[in-house]
Structure 1
């Protein structure tokens, strides 16, 4: 496994980050939230450590319907097995998101951010994860109804208490990153060290705003949905697997001509489509790590090949021709 720094921090993380959103029950089809059994999740995490992956990502809302938080519980029970599992992991979790089944009555519902909510959700995450600290605590979404002075009061307090090492964000636009860092600087606080963002060969809009802003600010970027919900793992010459998500199926028809060219290029390279898509992300100096979401140990081990691939300039140009970079942001998309 190869390692790099998370932004301009001194934290070294593996170039692949293990995503855990699928850890939960086995009620759904592979790839969905909560589709991986606890035993298989433990096997995957053990295999990740054995492969040198030290960077794990989760969130306080991951889990099946009516079981939000179960993913953190699964990780906590894995930590409790000992064997230096907790000490070997750079753990990131999130706060601030809510699903429809989480809604409760009252003015201070779980959705969004505030000092009040952050403190309570953080303590709940610690309990589920069976740990006394978090390396990376991330805001799941921006909350423009709350002043940064309040947010930094909450997050800075956790850092000063030694309960959190670093603060990160997710789904932030470039302007949000700028505001966050400007406010943190006024408090003589280091602010954000990472931003988690959706980005792939078929979704390159982050290049217009978030990626360049993050790089200028020294914020490392981790990537969710690097394979576009499995779309970029398809060999378009073969039947579409039943496990492909509905969202990816919709994208498939609009991107079919591009995917045909992409599969042809991958055949020329002698590499799998998923490996090339991940290698393309790893070639971007703004990106610290794509987040992979294997549902089996075999899928995890297969993903490791991407770290060894170094795409040359002609190949990168060809990928730009197949999946052109956006020229302007379509605010209606």
Structure 2
């Protein structure tokens, strides 16, 4: 296992993150307690120290299992959890279905932020959270309220670092600048869906992360298992037949991943994971699984290095339309007609190719 710092912080985390959404059986799928412990042990034995969960995962059971597992090794691990969505039967879900409940039990508001954190601390059996994510933007709470609230948690020592997930780039940029100007805690990581089958974050989110020094922590780097190739052979899983991850375009990409994997003599999953890890920005994929054999297979991606020709091949087959202004910058003649040849005279990693 290699290690890197998270964002612009000094926090050292493993180059793969363990995704704990499948720990527990509360959602009628996932790993039981015994298997969950084996998964965490396998990850730890490989040198992994970065674990990602959330208050909502398996209705809080994921956090409880992690808390039981880490009670004697807490300082060794970096625990990331999240707030925003309703955990268990609290919040809007209960209010709608039962005509009662805490309407402030969800959302980005400060009240729910503290309530959710306190519950996560109890379930995780810990006094602090290493990385606390805002889970998803609610398009309701003021940015100032969010950032001041998160900074207070850091000041109190309840949270060490803050991060954000599933939020528009303009919101993250505004929040980060606000925190910088006011001397508040700033985000160190950005969690988004990103894989060979989901490259749309390259339009705005990833360029923003690169510019702001945020580590990208992709969820679903294997696209729900689609990039393993198992669905091409008729194997059933949690993806419905009409999933975009199984579209004809997706299948073309998956077959190319399989060909590249065969040239290295490794499973397709390792190629798909390694592709995310060899991008030109700091990227730590989240590997979530409910089987020890699958986790071991994913961990072996650490020993693989893709040749540039294969990266270029995968980039080409999975390419997306950047839209405006990204595509405009790449149009033929733009460099000369608009910039007067300026791009030809200077090298900079953020300039359009």
**Is this a same-fold pair by TM over 0.5?**
yes
Structure 2 counterpart of 1:31: none
Measured in 2, the distance between the counterparts of 1:96 and 1:165 equals: 18
The residue that corresponds to 1:239 in the other structure is 233
Give how far 1:311 is off: 1.4
The Cα shift of 1:143 comes to 2.6
Per-residue deviation, 1:250: 5.0
> In structure 1, the residue corresponding to 2:80 is in which secondary structure?
strand
Larger RCO, structures 1/2 (Cα 8 Å, 6+ apart): 1
Q: How many residues align?
A: 316
Highest Rg: 1 or 2? 2
Q: Distance in 1 between matches of 2:39 and 2:245?
A: 29
Aligned equivalent of 2:74: 86
Shift of 1:158: 1.0
SS at match of 1:289: coil
Offset from partner CA, 1:215-254 (integer Å, 9 cap, x none):
1011111010000000001157x62322352278553242
Instruction: Please state if 1:135 is matched with 2:123.
Output: no
Deviations 1:277-328 (A, max 9, x none): 0000000132331000121222211111111211121111111222113322
1:48 pairs with 2:34: no
Q: Per-residue displacement from partner, 1:33-84 (whole Å, max 9, x unpaired)?
A: x411011111111111111000000000010xxxx1111111112123x2xx
Matched, 1:153 2:144: no
Distance of 1:325 and 1:146 partners within structure 2: 32
Task: Report if aligned partners of 1:195, 1:214 keep a CA contact under 8 Å in 2.
Answer: yes
Moved >4 Å (runs of 4+): 99-102, 247-250
Alpha carbons 1:197, 1:222 under 8 Å: kept = yes
Q: Take 1:12 and 1:158, find their aligned partners in 2: how far apart are those partners?
A: 21
Partner SS for 2:157: coil
Task: Provide the rounded CA distance (Å) in 1 between the counterparts of 2:165 and 2:268.
Answer: 26
Instruction: Tell me, yes or no, if structure 1 residue 251 matches structure 2 residue 245.
Output: yes
Shift of 1:12: 1.1
Residues of 2 paired with 1:183 and 1:124: CA distance?
28
Q: Give the Cα separation in 2 of the matches to 1:280 and 1:74.
A: 31
CA RMSD between the two structures: 2.0
Distance in 2, matches of 1:180 and 1:106, equals 30
Moved more, 252-261 or 283-292: 252-261
**Aligned residue for 2:66?**
75
Deviates more, 1:128-137 or 1:150-159: 150-159
SS in 1 for 2:13: strand
Are the counterparts in 2 of residues 4 and 288 from structure 1 also a CA contact under 8 Å?
no
Q: Which has the larger helix fraction?
A: 2
Residues 122 and 26 of structure 1, relative CA distance in 2, 3 Å threshold:
closer
Q: Is residue 11 from structure 1 mapped to residue 11 from structure 2 by the alignment?
A: yes
Structure 1 match to 2:212 = 217
SS state at 2:76 partner = coil
SS at match of 2:234: coil
CA distance in 1, matches of 2:117, 2:27: 28
Q: Secondary structure at the match of 2:104?
A: coil
Aligned partner of 1:271 among 247, 255, 266? 266
Corresponding residue for 1:321? 316
Aligned mates of 1:250, 1:241 — CA distance in 2: 17
> Residues 181 and 270 of structure 1: is their aligned pair in 2 closer, same or farther, counting only changes over 3 Å?
same
Structure 2 gap segments, 5+ residues each: 325-353
> Residue in 2 aligned with 1:109?
104
Equivalent residues in 2 for 1:30-45, closer than 5 Å = 34-45=29-40
Contact 1:93/1:137, CA 8 A, preserved across alignment: yes
Tell whether the 8 Å contact from 1:177 to 1:214 is kept in structure 2 after alignment.
Answer: no
